[in-house]
Chain A
Amino acid sequence: MRKLFAFVALLVTVSVSEASVREIVYNLGVDPQTIDPAMNHALDGAVVDVNIFDGLIRYDFSGNPEPGCAESWDVSPDGLTWTFHLRENLRWSDGQPLTASHFRDGFLRLIDAKTGAPYASLGLFIKNAERFYGGKCESSDVGLTATDDRTLVVELEHVNPLMLWYMAFNAFYPARTDIVSQNPRTWSAKPETLISNGPFRLESWKHGAGGEIVIARNPHYWDAENVKIDRVRLVFIGDANTALAAFRAGRVDFMTTVPSLMRPLLLKRGEAVSVPQYYVAFCELNVTRKPFDDVRVRRALSLAVDRKVITDKIILGGLKPATGAIMDGIPGRTDSEDFRTEGGGLIPERADVEEARRLLAEAGYPGGEGFPEITLKYASSGNRGKTFPEVLQGMWKTALGIKVNLVGEEWKVFLSTKRKGDFDAAISAWVMDFPDAAGLLENYTTGSPGNDVGYSNPSFDALMKKAGTELDRARRTDLLHDAERILVDDMPIIPLYFGSDAVMKSERVRGVCQFPTGLVIFRGAEVD
């Protein structure tokens, strides 16, 4: 009998402790390639990293930079020397002290060619980083100095207007070289060796379709007292319908993987809410090929598209016609101003068929006569589907009388042939890593790796170059406005719509922050 009581008591304690675990289940949707901060270049990995690591700077709950591991910093008048002062008693998740040299090691990993980091070029603003990457100087020559345990001095090659944003980004997290050097490839894949310094730490990682990453509260985090939940399970449910079933069954608390066909209905019913995203969909035109080398043709193609019809009748659910290249929500001259509002509508929402026809005739193709058959490429295995290319095909045929062939290609075939310039026109999209207009615009400078369309305009390049080193926020924003206007006038890309995310969230969860970059932050979350 006593045994039975003991057993019941045990059961009760077990179930009580189970119940008191404050846990959130978030559908990450994909099993990340890596969560090594220096190696990651995908959103899914960044979502994990931003919750288990903490940079010198971290994001506040509205997504802006605020002091993270650094409590303060000084900038030299020329903007070329940044001195970060770290908080007292910073610790890693294994209890070891975290010092300024760990940040130096993290930055060095990024710009060390041996690491093979995809985002290495992001670190080239640091003094001598490019020479170090090329093996032309020692790490001691790089402009990174830990003058003591709590002071990191970063010297810059050229001023970086986005310095604080970079310092919050996963590429600039600290590193434990004692661990990384022992297991350079595997350290970030196993909880035993992934030592981190953020609000959470890695507890487990199960790969595959039904797998998950579990992160648990890190008691050594400097702001641990404000972390109100014990655990987050980041599950990899890839099928959107299954995710919806799991959400309705109460097994998923938060997700953005809403089935695209059900999205309008779920938004209308209020089951899902639309949240802004720094997303713009566009059509790329290969300006090195005829007839797209003629700006009148490119403008005509843009004017023949009725963006309002696309967003209100065809692709439903929280989209907006693209009235410029830069989407809504990007800050402008000041934090309270909006880049798009400042720039105004550069592209009409409705089609202007008459003007489009006039431009096409002027280019030598009256009524589409003599216009070659063109090919519009799209990624058939991507999530954008065939509907959208078909709509463009139809609009161009009706308005301009031109024949468009559609070619769907598997995702990586699409990307690699496009990169080689083997296309006429292609459906594409861009999501910003930072709330900064330059992120998209700099793709179209001459020779930029993202410049698949082969666009080159010296005055655009000059503006972008100037903006890259302009520290005055208002002046830099004006330069970017000028650059955007040139890009939209030249129209190597036809902006089509601005996207948004649909979020489903259970009522027991509060304070999960999702930013328009797609990052999700659980630090301030609470559960009932």
Chain B
Amino acid sequence: MVHISRYILRRILSGLITLFIVITITFFMMRAIPGGPFTDEKAIPEFVAAKMSERYGLNDPVHVQYMRYLSGILRLDLGPSYRYEGMTVNELIAGGFPVSCAVGGLALLFSLMAGIPAGVISALKRGKWQDRLAMVLATVGVTVPSFVIASLLVYVLAMRLGWVNVGFWDGISTAWLPAVTLALYPAAFISRLVRSGMLEVLGQDYIRTAYAKGLSERRVIYIHALKNAVIPVITYLGPLTAGILTGSFVIEQVYGVPGLGTFFVTSISNRDYTTIMGVTIFYSAILVAFNIAADICLSFADPRIKLR
């Protein structure tokens, strides 16, 4: 147990260094984009623009702003948003993350529920129609961009059939359609991972032994084979969970979900510097955390893997 906690500690430390590098690169890169938070179609006189920048400390030298920002982060203060007057970035994240989490959590569930069985079936029925069908669906799921699928679903389910309401967030009851759309890509990806993992495992000696011992097919496949076939999925789950829980711009725009994903895109187009930094740091931290978690899970699932 001691070596696990030491391992986690070391990973957290290296995660913090990663975060620091991410913060630094993002901070200076976003300043290099032309235009600022107050660039607007209706030109603002120079002397007024100067006063507006002063209000947010944007007239100070960039390295001063950088140090000020770092000291804010140490206090977990991500600063005021330039785009949403009166809101802090902490408030924006606190408002959007629970919603993204609900939709993303549901999507994660859907993608595992659809992806793993689909992968198992296509491995067992290799080359048969079931396998081909799963292949076609997976190809569609991976290649068709989510904005196409989302718009299509809105057109058919909301506009033509009138079965669902879109554009309004009424809590978890409105979450399922965005969640399904969000789940398509990972479900397809997971099904392919499981299929190839399964095919590899099924050819191994211990499976033959299991059959020879007279275990039922079901037991062999679902207990002995699947356990090892899903190991690649666990590795994939780390970044996937981090990505899916922090929301998707396209899905949120199309269905009207007040999540976090929108801010990843609009903060850049608004040059909302503090929000760009805030969501980037938040996402990076979650990504680091889930990668650590995935590696730990992996060490339990696969005894060959040692945590060092």
Q: Which residues of A pack against B, CB within 8 Å?
A: 31, 33-34, 36, 39, 41-42, 113-114, 116-118, 120-121, 133, 185-190, 206-211, 235-239, 241-246, 248-249, 251-252, 381, 410-413, 415-417, 419, 443, 448-450, 452
A41 vs B43: C-alpha distance when bound (angstroms):
11
Q: Tell me whether chain B's interface is mostly helix, strand or loop, or mixed.
A: loop
Q: Are B34 and A207 in contact, CB atoms less than 8 angstroms apart?
A: no
Q: Are B159 and A244 in contact, CB atoms less than 8 angstroms apart?
A: yes
Q: Are B269 and A245 in contact, CB atoms less than 8 angstroms apart?
A: no
- B283 interfacial by beta-carbon distance below 8 Å: no
Q: Are B169 and A210 in contact, CB atoms less than 8 angstroms apart?
A: yes
A491 vs B54: C-alpha distance when bound (angstroms):
37
Chain B residues closer than 8 Å to A246, beta-carbon distance: 158, 165-168, 256
Some 16 contacts from A to B, beta carbons below 8 A apart, are: A42-B40, A116-B52, A117-B52, A118-B44, A185-B85, A186-B86, A190-B86, A207-B95, A207-B258, A209-B256, A242-B158, A245-B154, A245-B158, A245-B166, A412-B269, A415-B35
Residue of A116, A249, A417, A448 near B54 (CB, 8 A) is A116
A121 vs B44: C-alpha distance when bound (angstroms):
9
Which of B3-11, B134-142, B232-240, B247-255 forms part of the interface with chain A? B247-255
Residue of A118, A120, A186, A249 near B158 (CB, 8 A) is A249
Within 8 A of A (CB), among B50-100: 51-52, 54-55, 80, 83-87, 92, 95-96, 99
Q: Are A450 and B42 in contact, CB atoms less than 8 angstroms apart?
A: yes
Residue of A36, A211, A241 near B151 (CB, 8 A) is A241
- B176 interfacial by beta-carbon distance below 8 Å: no
Q: Are A210 and B34 in contact, CB atoms less than 8 angstroms apart?
A: no
- B259 interfacial by beta-carbon distance below 8 Å: yes
A370 vs B95: C-alpha distance when bound (angstroms):
59
Chain B window 241-276, contacts with chain A (Cβ cutoff 8 Å), 1 for yes, 0 for no: 000000000001111111100110000011100000
A381 vs B268: C-alpha distance when bound (angstroms):
12
Q: Are A237 and B167 in contact, CB atoms less than 8 angstroms apart?
A: yes
Q: Are A238 and B253 in contact, CB atoms less than 8 angstroms apart?
A: yes
A39 vs B44: C-alpha distance when bound (angstroms):
13
Residue of B34, B54, B85, B258 near A416 (CB, 8 A) is B34
A34 vs B81: C-alpha distance when bound (angstroms):
11
Q: Are B269 and A410 in contact, CB atoms less than 8 angstroms apart?
A: yes
Chain A residues closer than 8 Å to B51, beta-carbon distance: 113-114, 116, 120
Q: Are B43 and A412 in contact, CB atoms less than 8 angstroms apart?
A: no
Chain B residues closer than 8 Å to A209, beta-carbon distance: 252-253, 256-259, 262
Within 8 A of A (CB), among B263-305: 263, 269-271
Chain A residues closer than 8 Å to B271, beta-carbon distance: 412
A114 vs B52: C-alpha distance when bound (angstroms):
8
Q: Are A118 and B159 in contact, CB atoms less than 8 angstroms apart?
A: no
Nearest 9 Cβ contacts at the A-B interface: A189-B86, A412-B35, A208-B258, A34-B85, A210-B169, A246-B167, A449-B43, A116-B55, A416-B35
Residue of A186, A242, A381 near B256 (CB, 8 A) is A242
Shortest distance between the CB of B104 and any CB in chain A (Å): 14
Chain B residues closer than 8 Å to A187, beta-carbon distance: 86
Q: A185-B86, A241-B151 are in contact. List 15 more A-B contacts (CB 8 A).
A: A34-B85, A117-B48, A118-B44, A120-B48, A207-B96, A208-B99, A209-B256, A209-B259, A210-B99, A210-B255, A241-B254, A251-B165, A381-B269, A412-B270, A419-B43
Chain A residues closer than 8 Å to B169, beta-carbon distance: 210-211
Chain B residues closer than 8 Å to A415, beta-carbon distance: 35, 39-41
Shortest distance between the CB of B167 and any CB in chain A (Å): 4
Chain A residues closer than 8 Å to B44, beta-carbon distance: 41, 118, 449
- Chain B interface size, under 10 / 10 to 19 / 20 to 34 / 35 or more: 35 or more
Q: Are A118 and B40 in contact, CB atoms less than 8 angstroms apart?
A: yes
Given A185-B85, A188-B86, A246-B168: A206 and B258 interface contact (C-beta under 8 Å): yes
Chain B residues closer than 8 Å to A249, beta-carbon distance: 158, 162, 165-166
A242 vs B151: C-alpha distance when bound (angstroms):
8
A15 vs B95: C-alpha distance when bound (angstroms):
29
What residue of chain B has the Cβ atom nearest to residue A186's Cβ?
Answer: B86
Q: Are B255 and A207 in contact, CB atoms less than 8 angstroms apart?
A: no
A117 vs B45: C-alpha distance when bound (angstroms):
11
Within 8 A of A (CB), among B7-56: 33-36, 38-48, 51-52, 54-55
What residue of chain A has the Cβ atom nearest to residue B35's Cβ?
Answer: A412
- B155 interfacial by beta-carbon distance below 8 Å: yes
Shortest distance between the CB of A22 and any CB in chain B (Å): 19
Shortest distance between the CB of A499 and any CB in chain B (Å): 14
Chain B residues closer than 8 Å to A190, beta-carbon distance: 86
Shortest distance between the CB of A55 and any CB in chain B (Å): 20
Within 8 A of A (CB), among B83-131: 83-87, 92, 95-96, 99
A210 vs B85: C-alpha distance when bound (angstroms):
19
Residue of A31, A42, A241 near B84 (CB, 8 A) is A31
Q: Are B155 and A207 in contact, CB atoms less than 8 angstroms apart?
A: no
Shortest distance between the CB of A518 and any CB in chain B (Å): 13
A239 vs B47: C-alpha distance when bound (angstroms):
36
Shortest distance between the CB of B26 and any CB in chain A (Å): 17
A248 vs B160: C-alpha distance when bound (angstroms):
10
Q: Are B84 and A189 in contact, CB atoms less than 8 angstroms apart?
A: yes
Q: Are B87 and A245 in contact, CB atoms less than 8 angstroms apart?
A: no
Shortest distance between the CB of B125 and any CB in chain A (Å): 39
Q: Are B269 and A185 in contact, CB atoms less than 8 angstroms apart?
A: no
Chain B residues closer than 8 Å to A450, beta-carbon distance: 42-43
Q: Are B84 and A210 in contact, CB atoms less than 8 angstroms apart?
A: no
A207 vs B252: C-alpha distance when bound (angstroms):
12
Chain A residues closer than 8 Å to B151, beta-carbon distance: 241
Chain A residues closer than 8 Å to B259, beta-carbon distance: 208-209
A188 vs B80: C-alpha distance when bound (angstroms):
14
Chain B residues closer than 8 Å to A133, beta-carbon distance: 47
Residue of A186, A207, A239, A416 near B39 (CB, 8 A) is A416
Shortest distance between the CB of B153 and any CB in chain A (Å): 10
Residue of A33, A114, A211 near B85 (CB, 8 A) is A33
What residue of chain B has the Cβ atom nearest to residue A410's Cβ?
Answer: B269
Shortest distance between the CB of B261 and any CB in chain A (Å): 8
A185 vs B168: C-alpha distance when bound (angstroms):
29
Shortest distance between the CB of A245 and any CB in chain B (Å): 4
